């Protein structure tokens, strides 16, 4: 486009020169005036070219600035995205560590509660153990007292003895009496005819009986066998099936089990004084 304009300007100058040639006969003043016009035209052309160059140069500068602005905007967008990602990561870490902290606190609270429960149970066990120790002392005192009583009785008479087994004392007589008198003798000694509560106790008394027989606290009235405390037997240790035509019968302890016999026979007997009543088995 600049070349076109320059051609036009050149043509204008050429026409002016031709005009100068045709007007040679003009006076000097007129020629000078024409030369001034030519110089003015040349200056006009130069100023036109300068304005044209100045008009195009800002366009080139504007394009470069636009590219730089786009680069700057891209960098700003990337930085914003990085900041958003970092902020999101920080928030997620905060949530994660807060959750972990809460779970840890809950676990610590649970452990504290369990520890408190264990301490409470331990204190209860200690209290129970102390109570057992106190009961043991009381039982020991009772045993010692009974032993002193029995020793005093042994010093007054030589025809009887006491045997200790499982929190009970058993008096084994050496004389013979009917069942009713035997029970009366036991009561005078602070005891009663023996009541058997377990198989282990039965086996113990069978060994004590040996080859002898002894009255025990079991009798039959109106065909029903009852202990001296009024309870009906639920389990017996009979040597053979009992049965008799006599209305009143009493039980004897032997080395092989119980036998029934008329209560008016004179036989040895076993008394029992219990410190703690054992469970019936």
Task: Give the residue-averaged pLDDT of 200-215.
Answer: 95
32 band by pLDDT with thresholds 50, 70 and 90? very low
Task: Give the residue-averaged pLDDT of 176-182.
Answer: 97
Max mean pLDDT range (56-60, 140-144, 245-249, 254-258): 254-258
Residues 6+ apart with CB under 8 A from 256: 206, 239
Task: Give the residue-averaged pLDDT of 9-27.
Answer: 52
Which one is predicted more confidently, 144 or 264? Answer: 264
Note the pLDDT of residue 3. Answer: 52
Give ∠ CA 267-273-279 in degrees, rounded to 5.
110
Which one is predicted more confidently, 109 or 53? Answer: 109
Tokens (6 digits) for 82: 């990085």
Note the pLDDT of residue 208. Answer: 93
Q: By mean pLDDT, which of 147-151, 169-173, 198-202, 232-236 is the weakest?
A: 147-151
Please say if the pLDDT value at position 145 is more than 90.
Answer: no
Q: How many CB atoms lie within 10 A of CB 176?
A: 15
161-274 has CATH 3.40.1280.10 classification: no
pLDDT tens-place string over residues 208-258 = 999 999 999 999 988 889 999 999 987 789 987 665 545 679 999 999 999
Token pair 């016009």 in the structure block, residue: 37
Please say if the pLDDT value at position 12 is more than 60.
Answer: no
Tokens (6 digits) for 87: 């902020």
d(CA 198, CA 252): 17
Tokens (6 digits) for 243: 């049965």
Please say if the pLDDT value at position 169 is more than 70.
Answer: yes
136 band by pLDDT with thresholds 50, 70 and 90? confident
24 band by pLDDT with thresholds 50, 70 and 90? very low
d(CA 51, CA 211): 153
Please say if the pLDDT value at position 140 is more than 90.
Answer: no
Task: Break the chain into its structural domains and give their ranges.
Answer: 2-76, 161-274
204 band by pLDDT with thresholds 50, 70 and 90? very high
């Amino acid at each position: 486009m600049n070349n076109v304009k320059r051609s036009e300007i050149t043509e204008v100058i050429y026409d002016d020169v031709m005009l100068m040639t045709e007007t040679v006969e003009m006076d000097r003043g007129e020629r000078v005036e024409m030369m001034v016009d030519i110089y003015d035209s040349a200056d006009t052309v130069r100023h036109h070219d300068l304005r044209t160059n100045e008009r195009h140069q800002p366009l080139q500068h504007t394009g470069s600035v636009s590219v730089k602005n786009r680069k700057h905007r891209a960098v700003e967008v990337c930085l914003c995205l990085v900041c958003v990602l970092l902020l999101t990561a920080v928030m997620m870490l905060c949530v994660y560590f807060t959750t972990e902290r809460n779970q840890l606190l809950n676990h610590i609270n649970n452990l504290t509660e369990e520890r408190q429960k264990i301490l409470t149970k331990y204190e209860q066990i200690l209290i129970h153990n102390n109570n057992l120790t106190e009961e043991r002392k009381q039982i020991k005192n009772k045993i010692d007292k009974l032993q002193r009583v029995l020793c005093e009785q042994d010093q007054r008479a030589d025809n009887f003895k006491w045997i200790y087994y499982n929190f009970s004392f058993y008096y084994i007589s050496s004389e013979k009496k009917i069942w009713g008198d035997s029970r009366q003798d036991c009561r005078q000694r602070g005891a009663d005819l023996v009541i058997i509560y377990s198989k282990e106790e039965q086996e113990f008394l069978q060994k004590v009986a040996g080859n002898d027989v002894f009255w025990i606290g079991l009798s039959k009235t109106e065909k029903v066998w009852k202990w001296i405390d009024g309870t009906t037997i639920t389990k017996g240790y009979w040597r053979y099936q009992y049965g008799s035509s006599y209305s009143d019968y009493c039980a004897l302890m032997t080395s092989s089990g119980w036998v029934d016999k008329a209560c008016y026979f004179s036989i040895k007997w076993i008394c029992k004084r219990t410190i703690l009543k054992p469970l019936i088995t």
